[in-house]
Chains A and B, each alone.
Chain A
């Protein structure tokens, strides 16, 4: 049963990387959009595309926490004792990001919007980097088992963590760019679609480069994971590479819809391959999933919750995406702000 729960955890991490990642990546393009005038239209597209869904995506993270602390409490304690620095920074980034994005939609003053926008964008880069470095710390075996604290600095300032952090930023930027091509096309803005297509191709190349460097780093710094990647996880790695290459071909040819799906699969494959590579270990080489697992009563409860989740939440999630894609959820907050700008006076 612990295997099933570990699979659930891996799927949740993957979902967060894909759905939440696209949101973080959109923040990256907000940051990289340049000056106020030049970046106005890309920013507007970013704001419009993630408006209705960002809150829901965010909840994946909480889901990951809940499954991890219930099902693998000892390892959870170790991870937080060891990696509190990047996790604190990630928490701070999430607060800044969520608050400034929500407020930016609700305020009308131009300067206030710029300041909040910058907070949103900077935090969007900080959070994936920190999450990536946490993954790197775990994968490279720097978190000791048994509720003990590992090295508070080396656990996240090490080759694997740095490369995993950079990879996370590159992946979410790539994913968001591909999604935004589709969004721009849907909104009938062909020039913006071209704008993001260029960026998605460039970021795809960056991702590939970081992946190659990453493999070399992992080979020396996290050998067990490297061995896993080249043996049991090899099919996932190859499938991911094919999806990535396919997405690139579709992008160049202008088939944004298929590219979106393939890009999401490629990102998912990256996360899944990490999980498969370090199987059966939760903390590589020191703690297996089976040894880390909570009593069966807890695992059953988690699986029941997951079942309910599929029955209750999944339809709602699909409904939200369908309504959003059919453009039945126009952005109300922005309209309000726009109207206020038309009226002279403070605000």
Chain B
């Protein structure tokens, strides 16, 4: 009996580190899809709401109401997956939290405030459609938008701190003995990383929502309601895309200066030198040499610092010992993801320029079906670009969890049963994803059917006597 138990324990005892890494990666990759919706959808909803009230646009108002309901579902799922992440800090990385919690934990204290604010006002906004007065109701939505912005900045500040750990003093045994919270939050990586994620939220959210309405318009639903939805979302994405190019470029230069090893992985540079080519695709072979791909001579050097042009020196991977830089396969992942992010970003920029040019010259959105087809896939492409960018940041930092201070394997739990939770989480999340999509589609289908068969009773409609409405003193 005991030997059976021991055998079972032996089978169950699996190295937790790879499982912890993949579980964290998987749950973060899932959560990050919901982030843009939480952050930018509130803004788009408010735009529709504003338009609806200001210009007596019933369609825009109906749109805002519907969006807020869908947003409630994605926000709830986002809150759940976000809560799982906060559990995982303890479950998967107890040694990381134990040693660095005093510094790393600080930004989350502020994030909590914004998340709380968001949750409260989202509840008021969603449930307040019928019985609050129009403008009062509109203003209950504004804190959702503001809290989303600051919440994103706080969370990214924590991640940026892992890239640029500052604001603490260590004693001789390596324990944190003093913390400067301001320096922790406003670490060197924070401003650009936060800006990059925030703009990404608007870019991805805009393309994602617009793509749903592009599909609807391709199916012939070209009415005012669908056009309003498309124009609001796609305009947000169009403004965000060129801004993102600039922010991304600045961030890449920051990485060049502060995380040269990550930069070498991004640009696929095995050894230090000048006149480094920008290699499109390609990979490092078993000997650590560049293989395949299309090299553009000198471009990586030139982009790293245009003032010195092609003579800019780029530090190679071999400048640091092998055990303090990403493995060859990790380098290949980083480089491929970088190409995917930049490539897709460029395609999306072209699409945004098409849209902007048509507005400027013709005062309307592009009428071409090819534009709508491109817009229909833009949402998925934007999500892929964002995921790829996030992989670049995270895998590019390997093997460190706290850059140059703590390795991932020293941070992970020693609990050998992690593989069980990892598989469970995978199954639950798959179910969660399927249900979310099914539920959102069901809501949208029902809403459409109602529009066709039932006289719709819009928001702010006097379903209660006027006297009753007046008691709402906000």
Contacts and interface: CB of A to CB of B under 8 A. Distances in A.
Interface string A323-347: 1000111111100100110010101
A327 B468 CA distance: 11
B128 to A, nearest CB: 6
B83 A98 contact: yes
Interface of A: 51-53, 55-56, 58-59, 61-63, 65-67, 69-74, 76-81, 84, 87-88, 90-92, 94-96, 98-99, 101-103, 106-108, 147, 149, 152, 294-298, 300-302, 304-305, 308-309, 312-313, 316-317, 319-320, 323, 327-333, 336, 339-340, 343, 345, 347
A308 to B, nearest CB: 6
How big is chain B's contact interface, by range? 35 or more
Contacts of B101: 69-70, 72-73, 76-77, 294
Nearest to A75: B98
B472 interface: yes
Nearest to B129: A332
Given A79-B90, A106-B440, A301-B179, 9 more contacts: A65-B89, A103-B73, A294-B179, A295-B168, A297-B167, A298-B106, A305-B112, A329-B123, A336-B446
Interface string B427-460: 0100010011001101101110110011000000
Nearest to B125: A329
A122 to B, nearest CB: 14
Nearest to B80: A98
A152 B86 contact: no
A70 B106 contact: yes
Interface string B72-91: 11011101111110110111
> Which of A73, A149, A312, A319 neighbours the largest number of chain B CB atoms within 10 Å of its CB?
A73
Contacts of A336: 69, 443, 446-447
Interface stretch (B47-55, B113-121, B216-224, B352-360): B113-121
B407 interface: no
B119 A58 contact: yes
B130 interface: yes
A69 B116 contact: no
A72 B111 CA distance: 18
29 contacts: A62-B112, A69-B101, A70-B106, A73-B97, A76-B90, A92-B428, A95-B80, A95-B84, A95-B428, A98-B76, A98-B79, A101-B76, A103-B73, A106-B440, A147-B94, A294-B102, A294-B179, A295-B102, A295-B177, A296-B179, A297-B167, A298-B179, A298-B181, A301-B109, A302-B109, A305-B110, A313-B113, A319-B120, A343-B453
A309 B75 CA distance: 21
Contacts of B116: 56, 59, 63, 309, 313, 316-317
